[in-house]
Structure 1
Amino acid sequence: MAPEFSEKGLFEVLEPASQTLPLVFNSPHSGRAYPQGFVSDSRLDALSIRRSEDHFVDELFQAAPALGAPMLLAHFPRAFLDVNREPYELDPRMFEGTLPPYANVSSMRVAGGLGTVPRVVAENMEIYQRRMPVSEALDRIETIYKPYHTCLRSLIVRTHLRFGFAVLVDCHSMPGNIRIAGGQRPDFIIGDRYGTSAAGDLSRAVVRLFEDMGFVVARNKPYAGGFITEHYGRPAKGLHALQIEVNRALYVDETTLQKKPEFDAVQAGISWALSQFAGYVEKYASDSALAAE
């Protein structure tokens, strides 16, 4: 299956020359290699099927390895498989055959068509022309979802063992029509599952960094973090997980999906914020270690 997606494989880790930071970056939704068989089975055209991508987020956060932190990024598209879900959030209406008894068929995400194997892309656009064999969905989970999470878990564990502390930064984008209280359009939303996936000091530090550059920043609303943030964040054990959502209207034309002229400036702003956050995390980890002694 892998050769259909990319010569680089289903996903890859961009490693720093030497990991010097207790940070791990993850871009699970920026994959843009669409296998021809998948496109042929879809009722959507080649542009519409891309509507659920986190467009170019891997490039926006590409400074991470140079700063001294690994970055995991998907090459498979979110429309094909969503690794920011439980492994078996599946809609029985999509499939021919019987789902295994352990499948979660009643989550809000499944109801919205956004399960592990999505039924729709953005704006409720149905992906498939016909039902899919259950075996195909389970094969995607076995051959892509599980290896992806094995890799992500390995990076987090490696980081935690090396530094005694780890922060996962889950990188995403959001539609330009999102509004927050007062009708403002947020440029960034920082999610920490309402303080349960990461220490509040860490998420507040990220908020301040982007606000200092003049961006409108919200915390947890309307995006508090998905399965990855919730699953890997264990602050009491020194394992923190944050989600950063970037407003696509800042850097991409959402009709053509082409980069805007502002792309480079947004990328530079994110790179600066990451460099500042790296210093903050180093000090935070050191202070936490001293407090524990």
Structure 2
Amino acid sequence: MPATPPPFRVHEPDTAGPIVVEVPHASLVVDELAARFTRVPERALAADADVAADALFGDVTLEGAALVVATASRFVIDLNTAPRVPTPYEDKLPYGLREVRRRSASGEQWLESAPPRAEVERRVRDVFEPYHAEIAARLAEARARHGAAILVSGHTYPDVMFPGAADVVLGTRRGESAAGWARNAVAEVARAHGLSLALDDPFPGGHALERHARRDEGVHALQIEIARRLYCDARTLALRPDDVARLRGFTRSVIAALTSAAAR
């Protein structure tokens, strides 16, 4: 039986700071086992990924952040949605792993059938849980070293599905997952880079924030969503290198600002 590939890769900073960045939805990879049950149109596989999110957050290690990037497509399992305990009943399977009619950001539609229970359990066991265990361990190390830790969950979003949304949407689960100083630090950087910013609308933050934030223990968590219109073509998804570089500067500045704010 084919082995499940490692569910993430980690980019290490030279000197570790208090911040961990995770990118859960950039990959287009459907492993060999998953591909037996999950057949996604090629166009949808790319359009529904967080296009180039790993590239947009690629310089955060230069500011001391560890960068954890998922290696499996969100069509294998959505790492930012909590899986419920699998049962033989479709409505208890993790979201996206039961029979649903999919509508892609690319406009394609198809019926996706639920994989067998054993395959669902494999994905939870071999992909979902190791990924979040790595994030938890990194946050614990950062907190032990610095007295506080911050998780930044990095995403991008398709404008066609969220017309009128801000350039950057900062998710904090409506203030539950991060202190005001962390929110303010990101807002100031966005303003300095000429980017509009919205708080929690339309993305308040997903499972990563719910699972890992522990404000009373000094562990904060933020979700950052960046609009695709800022760096790629809506139809072809072709990247504009100068705009990608500009946004890499933005995300690097966010990490620097959060690191400084956490130390106060």
The normalised TM-score by structure 2 is 0.86
Q: Specify the alignment match of 1:219 in structure 2.
A: 199
2:236 matched to 1:256? yes
User: What is the deviation of 1:165?
Assistant: 0.7
Kindly indicate whether the alpha-carbon contact (under 8 Å) linking 2:177 and 2:210 is maintained by their aligned counterparts in 1. yes
Range moving further from structure 2, 130-139 or 31-40: 31-40
Q: Specify the alignment match of 2:139 in structure 1.
A: 156
Q: Measured at CA, do residues 185 and 178 of structure 1 come closer, stay the same or move farther in structure 2, by a change above 3 Å? A: farther
User: What is the deviation of 1:35?
Assistant: 3.1
Kindly provide the amino acid, as one letter, of the partner of residue 50 in structure 1: A
Kindly indicate whether the alpha-carbon contact (under 8 Å) linking 1:80 and 1:118 is maintained by their aligned counterparts in 2. no
Kindly indicate whether the alpha-carbon contact (under 8 Å) linking 2:22 and 2:151 is maintained by their aligned counterparts in 1. yes
Q: Specify the alignment match of 1:10 in structure 2.
A: 7
Q: Measured at CA, do residues 38 and 254 of structure 1 come closer, stay the same or move farther in structure 2, by a change above 3 Å? A: farther
Work out the CA distance in 2 between the residues paired with 1:2 and 1:215.
45
Q: Measured at CA, do residues 3 and 249 of structure 1 come closer, stay the same or move farther in structure 2, by a change above 3 Å? A: farther
The aligned runs of 1:141-152 (5 Å cut-off) are 141-152=124-135
Range moving further from structure 2, 229-238 or 80-89: 80-89
Kindly indicate whether the alpha-carbon contact (under 8 Å) linking 2:22 and 2:153 is maintained by their aligned counterparts in 1. yes
| Largest Rg, 1 or 2 | 1
What is the total number of aligned residue pairs between the two structures?
260
Greater RCO (CA < 8 Å, at least 6 residues apart): 2
Q: Specify the alignment match of 1:291 in structure 2.
A: none
Q: Specify the alignment match of 2:67 in structure 1.
A: 71
| 2:187 counterpart (203, 207, 217) | 207
User: What is the deviation of 1:36?
Assistant: 5.3
Work out the CA distance in 1 between the residues paired with 2:176 and 2:126.
31
Work out the CA distance in 2 between the residues paired with 1:164 and 1:276.
17
Structure 2 unmatched runs, 5+: none
Q: Measured at CA, do residues 117 and 281 of structure 1 come closer, stay the same or move farther in structure 2, by a change above 3 Å? A: farther
Question: For each residue in 1:51-102, what CA deviation from the matched residue of structure 2 results, as whole angstroms up to 9, or x when unmatched?
Answer: 3211111111111212112111101111111111213276x8xxxxx15xxx
Structure 1 unmatched runs, 5+: 93-97, 284-293
Question: For each residue in 1:161-191, what CA deviation from the matched residue of structure 2 results, as whole angstroms up to 9, or x when unmatched?
Answer: 1111111111111111365xxx744100001
For the residue of structure 1 that corresponds to 2:160, the secondary structure is coil
Q: Measured at CA, do residues 17 and 235 of structure 1 come closer, stay the same or move farther in structure 2, by a change above 3 Å? A: same
Kindly provide the amino acid, as one letter, of the partner of residue 55 in structure 2: E
User: What is the deviation of 1:233?
Assistant: 1.1
2:263 matched to 1:282? yes
User: What is the deviation of 1:18?
Assistant: 2.3
Work out the CA distance in 1 between the residues paired with 2:2 and 2:146.
33
Work out the CA distance in 2 between the residues paired with 1:150 and 1:171.
18
Q: Measured at CA, do residues 43 and 86 of structure 1 come closer, stay the same or move farther in structure 2, by a change above 3 Å? A: closer
Q: Measured at CA, do residues 178 and 279 of structure 1 come closer, stay the same or move farther in structure 2, by a change above 3 Å? A: farther
The normalised TM-score by structure 1 is 0.79
Kindly indicate whether the alpha-carbon contact (under 8 Å) linking 2:7 and 2:126 is maintained by their aligned counterparts in 1. no
| 2:110 counterpart (98, 114, 126) | 126
Question: For each residue in 1:198-228, what CA deviation from the matched residue of structure 2 results, as whole angstroms up to 9, or x when unmatched?
Answer: 1022112201210222111100111110011
Q: Measured at CA, do residues 238 and 50 of structure 1 come closer, stay the same or move farther in structure 2, by a change above 3 Å? A: same
Q: CA RMSD in A?
A: 2.7
Kindly indicate whether the alpha-carbon contact (under 8 Å) linking 2:231 and 2:240 is maintained by their aligned counterparts in 1. yes
Kindly provide the amino acid, as one letter, of the partner of residue 253 in structure 1: D
Work out the CA distance in 1 between the residues paired with 2:44 and 2:164.
27
